[in-house]
Structure 1
Amino acid sequence: MKTAPVLAVDGPGGAGKGTICRAVAARLDWHLLDSGALYRLVAAAAARAGVALDDEAGLAGLARDLPVRFEGEQVWLGDEEVSEEIRSEACGDRASQVAALPGVRTALVGLQREFRRAPGLVADGRDMGTVIFPDAELKVFLTASAEERARRRYKQLKEKGFDVNLPALSAEVAARDRRDAERAVAPLRPAVDAVVVDSTALDIEAVIERVLQELKRRGLAPDA
């Protein structure tokens, strides 16, 4: 039985899912699930526990008992605040490797579904509409060109003071896209009933408004 409506937003890294999902969740006062953070947290927990990234059983064990807590934009691993650490490119690359393992994905299914609570949930990820919440009231597949996604990430990291190289970042984006699309379990693809939004030439507010309009059409958002 459904406990709350779900907006499932899937798409490749750098398409703007996190920004859009946080904004929509805040406007509707809904809960937020950043599923990508869960895989990054597994990667971070593995580094702390000395578990190799190809140890599927060991990583699945970490995922089942993941002591995760979200507080606004802060992410906690047990009693340690790890928001900045898990947003690094290195952690993102490790998380992409971890997410390709079927045992890890299976171990995190239950945890992700527990985030579905009233008044509603905005779920940000790669397989929210295809695997985790196939009955979501609205499914959005948010994408952008690989070049634009690399450019956005480059700008974001430079503004935070990181020394990054755009060609190298572009190569990492392409490699991550391949891993996400080719993994055996829950490959990245739009759900058959998803609304596809290409954000390459759109600003943030335009994308937010498009998503809100789709929610309004389904009676899930106020007309204010």
Structure 2
Amino acid sequence: MKKITIAIDGFSSTGKSTLAKQLAKELEYIYVDTGAMYRAVTLYAMENGMVTEKGIDKEALIAALDDIELKFVFNPNVGFAEMYLNGKNVEKQIRSLEVSRNVSPISEVREVRSKLVALQQEMGKEKGIVMDGRDIGTVVFPDAELKVFMTASPEKRAVRRYKELLDRGEDVNYEDILENVQKRDYIDSHREVSPLTKAKDAIEFDNSDLGLVQQFERIYEHALRIINN
């Protein structure tokens, strides 16, 4: 069976990672969560005083990029690879609302994107990979055999994110999360470097009112048609 590259892009909290993990598991492909990579860089910047009320200290962040080591390590207990920052498991820390508030401005930094895109392209050289993010089908893998662009209403996405954070024990409220979702949408779609856009040959998938099983089955069928063609 031939191997392909599957690129999943879309807005925050549209279930990109959930779908990507399911596809990777079913196809026995490698799964890469590029959002976790940007979140890890954001966490590093926050922990090292590069994120303040005045904004991002871009010069300090750019100077420190060579000191940032990112690695995915498979955890058999959860069934997927977790993000390690400089040898430390930061999977839980990078999912916080505080990191979410700062990840879009960090992702705008050209040098950050250049470093991470190069890492992502290296990971996918042999195909047999499912990667999700914001610019996978447009920048990282423009020749991917299957491209999916996921969307849903901001309100539905905010509810999903709210429930997710509550389950993790965080003290959050819906209004703050909805504001964060809308702000990230704007920044991601309007940034100068690699803005969030739908690739011309991507399948657009609105899952505002679609269950996880239905969503997976539809995209999985697309993948199989391409693989078996």
Task: State the TM-score, normalizing by the size of structure 1.
Answer: 0.91
Residue identity in the other structure for 2:12: G
Residue identity in the other structure for 1:218: I
Equivalent position of 2:77 in the other structure: none
Distance of 1:73 and 1:204 partners within structure 2: 21
Residue identity in the other structure for 1:164: V
Distance of 2:189 and 2:127 partners within structure 1: 32
**What is the CA deviation profile of residues 185-207 of structure 1, one whole-angstrom value per residue up to 9, with x for unaligned ones?**
11111101000010111111111
Residue identity in the other structure for 1:60: I
Given the superposition, is the C-alpha separation of residues 63 and 196 from structure 1 closer, same or farther in structure 2, using an over 3 Å criterion? farther
Distance of 1:27 and 1:7 partners within structure 2: 13
Shift of residue 177 of structure 1? 0.5
Given that residues 57 and 103 in structure 1 are in contact (C-alpha distance below 8 angstroms), is that contact kept between their aligned partners in structure 2? no
Distance of 1:23 and 1:56 partners within structure 2: 36
Equivalent position of 2:160 in the other structure: 152
Q: Name the SS of the counterpart of 1:202 in structure 2.
A: coil
Equivalent position of 1:214 in the other structure: 222
Given the superposition, is the C-alpha separation of residues 187 and 100 from structure 1 closer, same or farther in structure 2, using an over 3 Å criterion? same
Distance of 2:101 and 2:127 partners within structure 1: 34
**What is the CA deviation profile of residues 34-89 of structure 1, one whole-angstrom value per residue up to 9, with x for unaligned ones?**
11111111111122333345333432344455311212342211221111000011
1:136 aligned onto 2:144: yes
Q: Which stretch has the larger CA shift, 102-111 or 34-43?
A: 102-111
Given that residues 56 and 104 in structure 1 are in contact (C-alpha distance below 8 angstroms), is that contact kept between their aligned partners in structure 2? no
Shift of residue 220 of structure 1? 5.5
Q: Which residues of structure 1 form unaligned runs of 5+?
A: none
Shift of residue 125 of structure 1? 0.1
Equivalent position of 2:11 in the other structure: 12
Given that residues 126 and 188 in structure 1 are in contact (C-alpha distance below 8 angstroms), is that contact kept between their aligned partners in structure 2? yes
1:42 aligned onto 2:47: no
Residue identity in the other structure for 2:27: L
Q: Which stretch has the larger CA shift, 170-179 or 62-71?
A: 62-71
Given that residues 37 and 83 in structure 2 are in contact (C-alpha distance below 8 angstroms), is that contact kept between their aligned partners in structure 1? no
Q: Which residues of structure 2 form unaligned runs of 5+?
A: 74-79
Residue identity in the other structure for 1:59: L
Equivalent position of 2:50 in the other structure: 51
Equivalent position of 1:112 in the other structure: 120
Distance of 1:196 and 1:94 partners within structure 2: 27
Distance of 1:27 and 1:41 partners within structure 2: 27
Shift of residue 119 of structure 1? 5.6
Given that residues 8 and 131 in structure 2 are in contact (C-alpha distance below 8 angstroms), is that contact kept between their aligned partners in structure 1? yes
Given that residues 20 and 208 in structure 1 are in contact (C-alpha distance below 8 angstroms), is that contact kept between their aligned partners in structure 2? yes
Q: Name the SS of the counterpart of 2:11 in structure 1.
A: coil
Equivalent position of 2:76 in the other structure: none
Q: Which stretch has the larger CA shift, 48-57 or 70-79?
A: 48-57
Task: State the TM-score, normalizing by the size of structure 2.
Answer: 0.89
Matches for 1:156-195 after TM superposition, within 5 Å: 156-195=164-203
Distance of 1:107 and 1:217 partners within structure 2: 34
Shift of residue 106 of structure 1? 1.6
Number of equivalenced pairs: 219
1:204 aligned onto 2:209: no
Residue identity in the other structure for 1:156: E
What is the Cα-based RMSD across aligned positions, in Å? 1.9
Regions of 4+ moved over 4 Å: none
Residue identity in the other structure for 2:46: A
Given that residues 142 and 199 in structure 1 are in contact (C-alpha distance below 8 angstroms), is that contact kept between their aligned partners in structure 2? yes
Given that residues 46 and 62 in structure 1 are in contact (C-alpha distance below 8 angstroms), is that contact kept between their aligned partners in structure 2? no
